[in-house]
Amino acid sequence: MQTAQAILRPPYRRAALEECGAIVPNLLWVFGAVELLGDPALQELLNEALPGVPRVGCSTAGEISRQGVDDHSLVVTAMRVDGGGLQVASTGFDGLADSRDAGRRLGEQLQAPGLHNIITFGQGVDINGSAFIDGLVSVVGRSVQISGGLAADGGRFERTLVLGPRGATPDQVVALGISNPKLHVGHGSFGGWSPFGPVRTVTRCNGNLLYELDEEPALDIYRRYLGEYASDLPASGLLFPFAIVGEDRSLQGLVRTILGIDEDAGCLKLAGDVPQGGHLQLMHASTDALVDGAHRAAEAAAAMLGAQEPGLALLVSCVGRKIMMGARTDEEVEAVTDVLGRNATVAGFYSNGEISPFVPDQRCRLHNQTMTITCLHEV
């Protein structure tokens, strides 16, 4: 595997992409601020400097590169893999109700002999990430490992973009299917958040819409706990996600972030499904705990590759972690590179949701508030 990386800001210069073009890439990963990713000048530059090279990516709440964490930039990472076996697919996306069907449509395009991994990026505001994944899995099967993330827009939760064959648009989802047997993939996902307060029962929900906890409007309960932070909803909800708790009150490893609120219905719109009759508990975190979580995610991904050092590590971390860590955000990326090695090319973004297999059962799930890592190594 060969990689090259460029960090762009307007005015764009073709010379900045010379190293990317020199490796004659067969794929581009592009992550950037929503106002830059949607700039027609960027698409023109990529068409001129790297014509015909498929590209995938999305808008962000912060960009991750070899240099650490940045804002209001574009990170272009070129990758060359021998032997083919890379397929980019996209489909239109028609809002929340289309989440499951959009996943199915992507899966139908990606079915190929030897398909073993899919990396996907979805719209990050008006989507049910759990349903999207379920639709994808229903077609390709659980033996295919899926990772990726949901686009962001700097924590505004208004409009996100996904980059694929249709350009950068708010109404598509994209995926890369990997069937190359020599391209090995490792995954890791970990949070670092701790529960607090009572465990509450989900007494009314509809997929990712949470209406009642303990037969009381969920929004009312949430506001009581947030106190002074309640006036900043939904953005302040990133600091206080929900943990999905088992019947025995044990943590299940799944976290749900608030993407929006419905004042009239007293409803919280979450990034993924919660179970009717299930149990939730609020969470909070410290910076040290989040950095340790990133370190543990990297260890899990590295363990799947054994002694092989990744050529590329895709990092998808939640925007809530970035807000929580503030000026110390770079520390979680440094924790990852300490594990994976300084030779690995690092690329990624801060997201509205993370997609990764769920240890120990290895089922793909939507995660929130995690550092999720996908490592690629060509044998």
Q: Do 293 and 273 belong together in one domain?
A: no
Picking from 268, 284, 300, the residue at the C-terminal end of a domain is 284
By the 10 Å C-beta count (0-12 exposed, 13-18 middle, 19+ buried), 140 is classed as buried
Q: Do 247 and 102 belong together in one domain?
A: no
Mean pLDDT of all residues belonging to the chain:
92
Q: Do 228 and 373 belong together in one domain?
A: no
Handedness of CA 272, 197, 192, 158 (dihedral sign): positive
CATH code at position 279: 2.40.10
Helix locations, 158-246, DSSP H = 218-226
Instruction: Band the pLDDT of 258: cuts 50, 70, 90.
Output: confident
Q: Do 199 and 277 belong together in one domain?
A: yes
Q: Do 102 and 183 belong together in one domain?
A: yes
Q: Do 51 and 138 belong together in one domain?
A: yes
Tell me: cis bond preceding 360? Omega within 30 of 0 counts.
yes
* Spatial distance between the Cα atoms of 342 and 162, rounded to a whole number of angstroms: 29
Q: Do 122 and 165 belong together in one domain?
A: yes
Picking from 269, 284, 299, the residue at the C-terminal end of a domain is 284
Q: Do 200 and 186 belong together in one domain?
A: no
Q: Do 25 and 169 belong together in one domain?
A: yes
Residue 34 has pLDDT above 60, yes or no: yes
For the segment 64-85, what is each residue's pLDDT rounded down to a tens digit?
Answer: 999 999 999 999 999 999 999 9
Q: Phi and psi of 211, rounded to 5°? A: -100, -45
For the segment 326-346, what is each residue's pLDDT rounded down to a tens digit?
Answer: 999 999 999 999 999 888 999
Number of H helices, E strands in the chain: 9, 26
Q: Do 124 and 181 belong together in one domain?
A: yes
Got the DSSP string for 76-97?
EEEEE-TT--EEEEEEE--SGG
- Structural domain harbouring 156: 2-190+289-378
For the segment 261-281, what is each residue's pLDDT rounded down to a tens digit?
Answer: 888 888 999 888 899 999 999
Distance of CA 287 to the CA centre of its chain: 20
Residue 197 · residue 283 · CB < 8 Å: no
Mean of pLDDT values over 304-327: 92
Q: What is the pLDDT of residue 235?
A: 80
Picking from 250, 284, 318, the residue at the C-terminal end of a domain is 284
Residue linked to tokens 């992507």 = 106
Q: Do 233 and 219 belong together in one domain?
A: yes
- Per the document, the length of the chain is 379
Type and span of the H or E element at 110: helix 99-110
For the segment 154-172, what is each residue's pLDDT rounded down to a tens digit?
Answer: 988 899 999 999 999 999 9
| Type of residue numbered 55 | R
| Total number of domains in the chain | 2
Q: Do 227 and 366 belong together in one domain?
A: no
* Spatial distance between the Cα atoms of 124 and 210, rounded to a whole number of angstroms: 18
